[in-house]
């Protein structure tokens, strides 16, 4: 998946990284303390050249062994102090940064759960996985090392330059000559490296997607002998990623070559110039030793600029990618009211093209409409062309309390989409849906989804036990017997015969079970919470005839106590419902019993007959989506 990326020239890495502050704020005390300790440790290292100057110009020049031993003791103490201080710094940052990473990962995961289905339809899962793993690892590494040492090294270089200028300003100016070309090279490097780092991290996400799809689709790959093509696709992405990483390495090598070479030339020049001045008596040997020792002490802070900038750019890119997800709007609890979204409340007139309302439906007198009601509902996918016709257009449908209604239509007519609107997996484009007269847009999602239970045509099971998968359908604490009752309704008693009964782990996606077994467990999950509203999307499509009959017999008892909308493709499923609605051309074109529609509606009779569709019918179907 490719995403639009702001050009590096328009992006400020500092501004991007500042977005991490809310996560860092709780541990700022320890991080600031660690940075201060590191600065002190680095400055302690700069005292060593001053001790060397004292030793050379003092005890060494005067042949004083006691003074040499004293100087050696000071050097040892300073070295030990520097090592201890750096150790304290590492101890200070280890625990809080693990907490920051954990908090950021939890925030990302929680936000993903609140994002609408349309977001997950748009994003590749590998891109999301890489943001929650690789990118957060880069951010933790940045906070642990580059963030601190960019500050520490900057202070060390400034203090070291001041010390060298105080020792001898002429030699100090010689050392400062490379500063301007190095700074220019760093600016160019940052801009180019940011672009390549972003490309590499996006390619890691694409590679993760391929791996995940290959693992989940291993049966398809093996069944069709597509392992070579999958391996080729993986290899192509790997080669592309390798090329990007090599370009990163070339950029880093170039900046490192400049940063290392120019200062080394400057140090060599100061060595020659300083030696000449010592020979002429214009400079003491101790001063030259101290100057060169300070310059050499600055080699690491200067040499590390390249990879510190590289790690900072990678962290800035990781921050961008992380907040690309967090900046997505979560599902709203309430939707703005649309003046023209529903039929006129005074007249109750349906939208154009909708069938006449059921004369038995309540609400004509102004009383709240009980049951599940679709009022002039229109839906178009967010990424659809605004000029294209909506998938659903003016749907008007009423399911009375305790009634079950089968929804029938050609493939692609929008049946599954219509059912997804009830639990607000998608939001209506216009119109409204009510439960007992209350607009579902006015209900908190938790309340709505506790009232409405869903079983999808493609059942999804999690890497958990059978019992845990089924009991996900219970909003609160399950009661004794809920699990066994739900399994009995779904004819899923096979769960008791598994190696560990209902405690058996079903494995990722439940692929250790057959399609019919997964579908029955999904149906059990839908009915276990005794929901007042039930939405079933062709829940029996994977069952054999005998199992289907047994499930239907048990399901009738459940449907007697609930209001249900059932997507159906087969007459046997239709017969579960009290009434049938035909969805065609994005609208409800007929409502009645199964027998009534068979006699009076040719399209419905054609769908129930199982005959091949005509070319014109297929063309009409393709125009819908």
Q: From 337, 545, 514, select the one nearest 441 (Cα to Cα).
A: 337
Same domain for 380 and 306, yes or no, is no
Same domain for 562 and 616, yes or no, is yes
Q: Is residue 195 part of a domain?
A: yes
* Confidence band for 624, pLDDT divided at 50, 70 and 90: very low
> Per the structure, how many domains does the chain have?
2
Same domain for 81 and 213, yes or no, is yes
Q: From 198, 188, 92, select the one nearest 138 (Cα to Cα).
A: 198
Q: Is residue 356 part of a domain?
A: no
Highest mean pLDDT: which range of 291-305, 465-479, 541-555, 580-594: 580-594
310: containing domain: 8-326
What is the mean predicted confidence (pLDDT) over 182-195?
86
Q: Is the pLDDT of residue 342 over 50?
A: no
Q: Helix, strand or coil for residue 609? A: helix
Phi, psi of 202 (to 5 degrees): -65, -40
DSSP 477-522: PPPTTHHHHHHHHTT-GGGGGSTTGGG-B--GGGTTS-HHHHHHHH
How far apart CA 140 and CA 446 sit, in angstroms, is 34
- Residues 6 or more apart in contact with residue 621 via CB below 8 angstroms: 410, 411, 412, 413, 613
pLDDT of residue 508: 67
What is the mean predicted confidence (pLDDT) over 578-587?
90
Using an 8 Å Cβ cutoff, are 357 and 398 in contact?
yes
What is the mean predicted confidence (pLDDT) over 362-369?
54
Q: Is residue 334 part of a domain?
A: no
> What is the maximal distance between C-alpha atoms in the chain?
121
* Digit-coded pLDDT (tens) for 512-535: 777 788 888 888 888 888 888 989
Picking from 270, 297, 326, the residue at the C-terminal end of a domain is 326
Return the ∠ at Cα 526 (arms to 521 and 528), rounded to 5°: 85
* Digit-coded pLDDT (tens) for 62-113: 777 887 888 788 888 888 888 888 888 878 877 788 888 889 999 999 998 8
pLDDT of residue 176: 85
Picking from 326, 355, 390, the residue at the C-terminal end of a domain is 326
Same domain for 314 and 451, yes or no, is no
Q: Is residue 613 part of a domain?
A: yes
* Confidence band for 50, pLDDT divided at 50, 70 and 90: confident
* Digit-coded pLDDT (tens) for 282-331: 888 888 888 888 888 888 888 888 878 888 888 999 999 999 999 988 87
Q: Is residue 208 part of a domain?
A: yes
pLDDT of residue 375: 92
Candidate from 27-31, 190-194, 621-625 with smallest mean pLDDT: 621-625
Q: Is residue 1 part of a domain?
A: no
**259-295 burial: b if 16+ Cβ within 10 Å, else e:** beebbeebbeebeebbeebbeeeebbebbbbbbbbbb
SS3 annotation, 224-237: CCCHHHHHHHHHHH
How far apart CA 372 and CA 424 sit, in angstroms, is 14
Q: Is the pLDDT of residue 399 over 60?
A: yes
* Confidence band for 610, pLDDT divided at 50, 70 and 90: low
SS3 annotation, 189-230: HHHHHHHHHHHHHHHHHHHHHHHHHHHHCHHHHHHCCCHHHH
Same domain for 410 and 268, yes or no, is no
Same domain for 236 and 101, yes or no, is yes
Same domain for 492 and 598, yes or no, is yes
Q: Is residue 350 part of a domain?
A: no
* Confidence band for 346, pLDDT divided at 50, 70 and 90: very low
Same domain for 551 and 416, yes or no, is yes
CATH number of the domain at 434, please.
3.40.50.300
Look-up of token digits 């002190």: 40
Picking from 293, 326, 359, the residue at the C-terminal end of a domain is 326
Q: Is residue 38 part of a domain?
A: yes
Around Cβ 304, how many Cβ atoms within 10 Å?
19
Same domain for 303 and 376, yes or no, is no
What is the mean predicted confidence (pLDDT) over 450-459?
83
The overall average pLDDT reported for the chain is 81
What is the mean predicted confidence (pLDDT) over 178-198?
86
Same domain for 293 and 392, yes or no, is no
Same domain for 199 and 118, yes or no, is yes
Question: What six digits make up the tokens of 126?
Answer: 């590998």
CATH number of the domain at 289, please.
1.20.1560.10
How far apart CA 323 and CA 315 sit, in angstroms, is 12
Same domain for 317 and 418, yes or no, is no
**CA dihedral angle for residue 307, residue 313, residue 315, residue 320, rounded to 10 degrees:** -170
């Amino acid at each position: 998946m490719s995403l639009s990326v702001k050009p590096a020239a328009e992006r400020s890495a500092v501004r991007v990284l500042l977005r991490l502050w809310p996560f860092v704020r709780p541990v700022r005390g320890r991080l600031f303390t660690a940075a201060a300790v590191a600065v002190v440790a680095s400055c302690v290292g700069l005292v060593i050249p001053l001790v060397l100057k004292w030793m050379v110009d003092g005890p060494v020049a005067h042949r004083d062994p006691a003074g040499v031993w004293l100087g050696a003791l000071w050097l040892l103490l300073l070295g030990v102090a520097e090592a201890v201080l750096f150790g304290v710094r590492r101890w200070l940052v280890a625990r809080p940064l693990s907490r920051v990473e954990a908090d950021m990962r939890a925030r990302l995961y929680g936000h993903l759960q609140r994002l609408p289905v349309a977001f997950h339809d748009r994003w590749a899962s590998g891109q999301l996985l890489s943001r929650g793993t690789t990118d957060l690892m880069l951010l933790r590494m940045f906070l642990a090392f580059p963030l601190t040492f960019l500050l520490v090294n900057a202070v060390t270089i400034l203090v070291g330059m001041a010390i060298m200028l105080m020792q001898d300003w002429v030699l100090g100016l010689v050392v400062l000559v490379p500063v301007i070309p190095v700074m220019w090279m760093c600016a160019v490097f940052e801009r180019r490296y940011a672009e390549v780092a972003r490309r590499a991290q996006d390619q890691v996400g694409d590679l993760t997607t391929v791996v995940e799809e290959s693992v989940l689709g291993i049966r398809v790959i093996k069944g069709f002998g597509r392992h070579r093509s999958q391996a080729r696709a993986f290899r192509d992405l790997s080669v592309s990623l390798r090329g990007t990483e090599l370009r990163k390495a070339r950029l880093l090598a170039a900046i490192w070559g400049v940063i290392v070479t120019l200062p080394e030339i400057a140090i060599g020049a100061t060595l020659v110039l300083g030696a000449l001045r010592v020979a002429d008596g214009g400079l003491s040997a101790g001063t030259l030793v101290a100057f060169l020792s300070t310059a050499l002490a600055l080699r690491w802070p200067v040499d590390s600029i390249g990879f510190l900038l590289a790690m900072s750019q990678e962290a800035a890119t990781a921050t961008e990618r992380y907040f690309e997800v967090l900046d997505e709007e979560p599902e709203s609890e309430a939707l703005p009211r649309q003046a023209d979204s529903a039929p006129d409340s005074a007249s109750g007139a349906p939208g154009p093209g909708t069938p006449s309302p059921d004369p038995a439906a309540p609400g004509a007198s102004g009383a709240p409409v009980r049951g599940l009601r679709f009022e002039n509902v229109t839906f178009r996918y967010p990424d659809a062309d605004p000029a294209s016709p909506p998938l659903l257009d003016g749907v008007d449908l009423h399911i009375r309390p305790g009634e079950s209604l089968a929804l029938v239509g050609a493939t692609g007519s929008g049946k599954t989409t219509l059912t997804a609107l009830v639990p607000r997996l998608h939001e209506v484009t216009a119109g409204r849906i009510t439960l007992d007269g209350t607009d579902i847009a006015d209900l908190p999602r938790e309340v709505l989804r506790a009232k409405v239970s869903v079983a999808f045509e493609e059942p999804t099971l999690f890497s958990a036990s059978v019992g845990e998968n089924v009991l996900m359908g219970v909003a609160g604490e399950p009661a004794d017997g809920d699990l066994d009752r739900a399994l009995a309704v779904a004819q899923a008693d096979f769960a008791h015969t598994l190696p560990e009964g209902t405690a058996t782990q079903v494995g990722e996606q439940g692929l250790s079970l057959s399609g019919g077994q997964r579908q029955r467990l999904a149906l059990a999950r839908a009915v276990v919470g005794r929901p007042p509203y039930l939405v079933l999307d062709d829940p029996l499509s994977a069952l054999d005839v005998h199992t289907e009959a047994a499930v239907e017999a048990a399901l009738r008892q459940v449907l007697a106590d609930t209001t249900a909308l059932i997507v159906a493709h087969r007459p046997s499923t239709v017969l579960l419902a009290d009434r049938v609605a035909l969805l065609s051309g994005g609208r409800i074109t007929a409502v009645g019993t199964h027998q009534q529609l068979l006699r009076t509606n040719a399209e419905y009779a054609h769908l129930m007959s199982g005959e091949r569709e005509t070319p014109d019918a297929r063309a009409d179907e393709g125009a819908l989506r």
